[in-house]
Amino acid sequence: MMESDTKAGPVRVLVTGGSGMLGKAIEHVVMNEGLKREGEEWIFLSSKDADLRDLGQTKAVFKKHHPTHVIHLAAKVGGLYEHMRDNLLFLSDNLRINDNVLQTAHDTGVTKVVSCLSSCIFPDKITYPIDETMIHNGLPHDSNFGYSHAKRLIDIQNRGYFEQYGHRYTSVIPTNVFGPHDNFNIDKAHVMSALIGKTYKAKMEGTPVTVCGTGAARRLFTLSWDVGRLIVWVLREYDEIQPIILSVGEEDEISIKDAVEMIAEALDFKGEIKYDTSLSDGQLRKTTSIAKLRRYRPDFTFTPVKEGIKMTCDWFVANYNSARI
């Protein structure tokens, strides 16, 4: 897709949410792994550049950079209890952000938009493995219904822009992403990064690590750099409007207990690991199917989770003073 665009004129890719974990992963693979092509310009926005909840600021930043392509990662996100307390705010803020970005992309003639959804959009009551056709088959979990519905509506908007204008706006659904530049705050982070932050803190203080639940829940953990590589591929090659799941395969699913042990090894934590079985494990499985991804990219090799954990732990220790904790 972008090869022909490059011949027609310069390609300018605007990445919203560019300072977050996935934005930094895309920046890494584009700038450091040779994925940047001749004639391309990549712009990574942060919330300091524009408040995308504000239509005027959104229009101004598009006018400043004149993007031909957009990777839309920006979102209002928070920890579980923040979502439970402020579902309406997560709904309204994310609706504004997404509508402003997609409407401004349309108004300014952007060729393609790839938006990032979340695995939390899937129905709470569902059969496994989950695939892309199941997004709208039931209500999402009550705990973050505002955020989930706002993300689901991107898929509806993409369909609308295609049917009415023929626009190639699409979306990706990464699952359980972790990696450098994530939020490692124990209360606000996703499970892998929270466990890394918690284990490192316990090592520094000489205290045990307490894990919520039994450790039996199983997840598909995917390194951010792998997701970044695949998002660049989606931008260039994937022509469907329907979303595509970006995740390691079912054979790479591990338990939370496995993850904790890999983190302890990576951080050389020798202390006690306790499991607080009075706390919920949450959903025991959230297995997703990557049959669609495998049809398109049978050649793609994901980073083994143990290797990804070691790399992320090394980055966290090296950048502890500037990391989000």
Q: Kindly report, residue by residue over 195-217, the tens digit of the pLDDT.
A: 999 999 999 999 999 998 899 99
For residue 274, is it within any domain? yes
| Structural domain containing residue 151 | 11-322
Domain count, the chain: 1
For residue 203, is it within any domain? yes
**For residue range 44-74, what is the model confidence (pLDDT) as tens digits?**
999 999 999 999 999 999 999 999 999 999 9
Q: For residue 6, what pLDDT is reported?
A: 39
Residue with token string 């930094």: 24
For residue 95, is it within any domain? yes
Rounded CA separation 226/150 (Å): 25
R_g (Cα) of the chain, nearest Å: 20
CB 72 within 8 A of CB 43: no
- Check residue 109 and give left, alpha or beta (phi > 0: left; psi -120 to 50: alpha): left
CB 243 within 8 A of CB 154: no
The arithmetic mean of pLDDT across residues 306-317, rounded, is 97
Q: How confident is the model at residue 86 (pLDDT cuts 50, 70, 90)?
A: confident
For residue 267, is it within any domain? yes
The arithmetic mean of pLDDT across residues 110-117, rounded, is 98
For residue 22, the SS3 value is helix
**For residue range 236-273, what is the model confidence (pLDDT) as tens digits?**
999 999 999 999 999 999 999 999 999 999 999 999 99
Which range has the worst mean pLDDT, 1-15, 75-89, 99-113?
A: 1-15
Which residues have C-beta within 8 Å of that of residue 294, sequence separation ≥ 6? Answer: 249
CB 142 within 8 A of CB 90: no
For residue 5, is it within any domain? no
Residue 186 has pLDDT above 90, yes or no: no
Q: What is the CATH number of the domain that holds 185?
A: 3.40.50.720
Residue 4 has pLDDT above 70, yes or no: no
Residue 42 has pLDDT above 80, yes or no: yes
Residue with token string 């401004």: 104
Q: Give CA angle at 62 (33, 152), nearest 5°.
A: 75
For residue 238, is it within any domain? yes
| Amino acid at site 258 | D
Q: For residue 68, what pLDDT is reported?
A: 98
Using CA atoms, how far residue 93 sits from 49, 114, 243, in Å, is: 17, 19, 22
Residue 316 has pLDDT above 70, yes or no: yes
Q: For residue 314, what pLDDT is reported?
A: 97
Q: How confident is the model at residue 81 (pLDDT cuts 50, 70, 90)?
A: low
- Specify whether 238 is catalytic: no
Q: For residue 1, what pLDDT is reported?
A: 46
The arithmetic mean of pLDDT across residues 207-231, rounded, is 95
Which range has the worst mean pLDDT, 69-78, 265-274, 278-287?
A: 278-287
Identify the H or E element spanning 160: helix 145-165
Which range has the worst mean pLDDT, 167-176, 221-230, 254-263, 278-287?
A: 278-287
For residue 254, is it within any domain? yes
DSSP string over 193-255: HHHHHHHHHHHHHT--EEEES-S--EE--EEHHHHHHHHHHHHHH---SS-EEE---GGG-EE
Mean pLDDT, the chain, whole residue set: 93
Q: For residue 8, what pLDDT is reported?
A: 58
DSSP string over 66-103: --SEEEE-------HHHHHH-HHHHHHHHHHHHHHHHH
Q: Which one from 81, 128, 147, 296 is the annotated catalytic residue?
A: 147
* Closest CA relative to residue 248, chosen from 207, 218, 271, 208: 218
Rounded CA separation 214/241 (Å): 40
The arithmetic mean of pLDDT across residues 215-221, rounded, is 93
For residue 22, is it within any domain? yes
Rounded CA separation 245/174 (Å): 6
